[in-house]
């Protein structure tokens, strides 16, 4: 098993459709012991029920916008795990109203919030957990999307946050490489998640991807999970600072042919 004896923390599981849950399931299958976080009592019960079957797992409260929460989480992980081998960062947020209309109308508060939750949180979590990973062949992965590279309708400020996140991956990779820690991102294709539900036209987006992607289908949660295991394991020990697309090849398409175009409506 690729992660036998490894210990890691997964930040961002909300429900069974979460991409983070797909990665967590794959990591547990490969032998990892996992810590999960939840934000607020509203999500605690559902996440608790979800992770219950994963043997040896623990559940911790965490609001990534609060430094005290991050510090407390790191202290608990030190007591419970002594050290950790990986971090899965899968949190992002923007105000729903900031995803509609024109990007030029983004509010100052909305811009700052999206950057704080979606990009800076990776920096804050990495800094807090680094003492538990330093000197080990550890791995950090985060989740991005094509909207961080190209303009995607109804993605707006979140696309700018994902662009910042991808650059954060590169700077962290340069910082942490000498300490033995790798940092990478998965740019996943669209998947039906709680976050995706807030994007207008999401069903049409799924239809376009499945129509024109080289594999002519949408990516699955399980496929993203397996890619996550690759990046967390020693199989990718020479890979850092990368953004790996797991989207059935959609990102390579510049123009689709008429016969491959999605139906109108």
With CA atoms as reference, report the closest residue to 90 among 171, 9, 20, 8.
20
Contact 63, 40 (CB under 8 A): yes
Question: What is the spatial distance between Cα 37 and Cα 138, in angstroms, rounded to a whole number?
Answer: 19
174 vs 27, 127, 161, 254, CA distance in Å?
A: 25, 14, 20, 31
> Nearest Cα to 36, choosing from 13, 17, 4, 16?
13
Do 165 and 149 touch, CB atoms closer than 8 A?
no
> Choosing from 120, 155, 171, 250, which is the catalytic residue?
155
What whole-number distance in Å separates Cα of residue 229 and Cα of residue 65? 27
Distance CA 151, CA 30 (A): 36
Whole-Å CA distances, 175 to 114, 139, 147: 24, 13, 26
Q: Which of 111, 145, 171, 250 is catalytic?
A: 145
Instruction: Tell me if residue 145 is catalytic.
Output: yes
For residue 155, indicate whether it is catalytic. Answer: yes
Q: In what order do the strands lie in the sheet with 58-61?
A: 58-61, 33-38, 7-11, 86-89, 138-144, 181-188, 243-246
SS3 label, residue 199: coil
Long-range contacts, stretch 49-53, CB < 8 angstroms, 24+ apart = 50/13, 50/15, 50/16, 50/21, 51/13, 51/24
Q: Just list the catalytic residues.
A: 145, 155
């Amino acid at each position: 098993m690729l992660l036998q004896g490894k210990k890691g923390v997964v930040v961002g599981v909300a429900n069974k459709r979460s991409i983070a849950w797909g990665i967590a399931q794959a990591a547990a299958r490969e032998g990892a012991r996992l810590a999960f976080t939840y934000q607020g009592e509203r999500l605690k019960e559902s996440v608790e029920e979800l992770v219950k079957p994963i043997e040896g797992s623990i559940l911790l409260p965490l609001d990534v916008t609060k430094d005290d929460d991050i510090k407390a989480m790191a202290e608990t992980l030190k007591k419970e795990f002594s050290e950790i081998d990986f971090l899965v960062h899968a949190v992002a947020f923007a105000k729903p109203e900031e995803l509609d209309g024109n990007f030029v109308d983004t509010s100052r508060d909305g811009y700052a919030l999206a950057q704080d939750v979606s990009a800076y949180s990776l920096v804050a979590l990495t800094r807090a957990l680094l003492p538990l990973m330093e000197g080990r062949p550890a791995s950090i992965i985060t989740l991005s999307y094509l909207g961080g590279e190209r303009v995607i309708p109804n993605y707006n400020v979140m696309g700018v946050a994902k662009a910042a996140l991808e650059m954060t991956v590169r700077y962290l990779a340069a910082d942490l490489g000498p300490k033995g820690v790798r940092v990478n991102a998965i740019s996943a294709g669209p998947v039906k998640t709680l976050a995706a539900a807030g994007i207008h036209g999401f069903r049409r987006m799924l239809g376009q991807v499945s129509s024109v992607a080289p594999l002519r289908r949408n990516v699955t949660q399980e496929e993203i999970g397996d890619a996550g295991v690759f990046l967390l394991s020693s199989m990718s020990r020479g890979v850092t600072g990368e953004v790996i697309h797991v989207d059935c090849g959609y990102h390579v398409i510049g123009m689709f042919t008429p016969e491959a175009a999605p139906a109108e409506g």
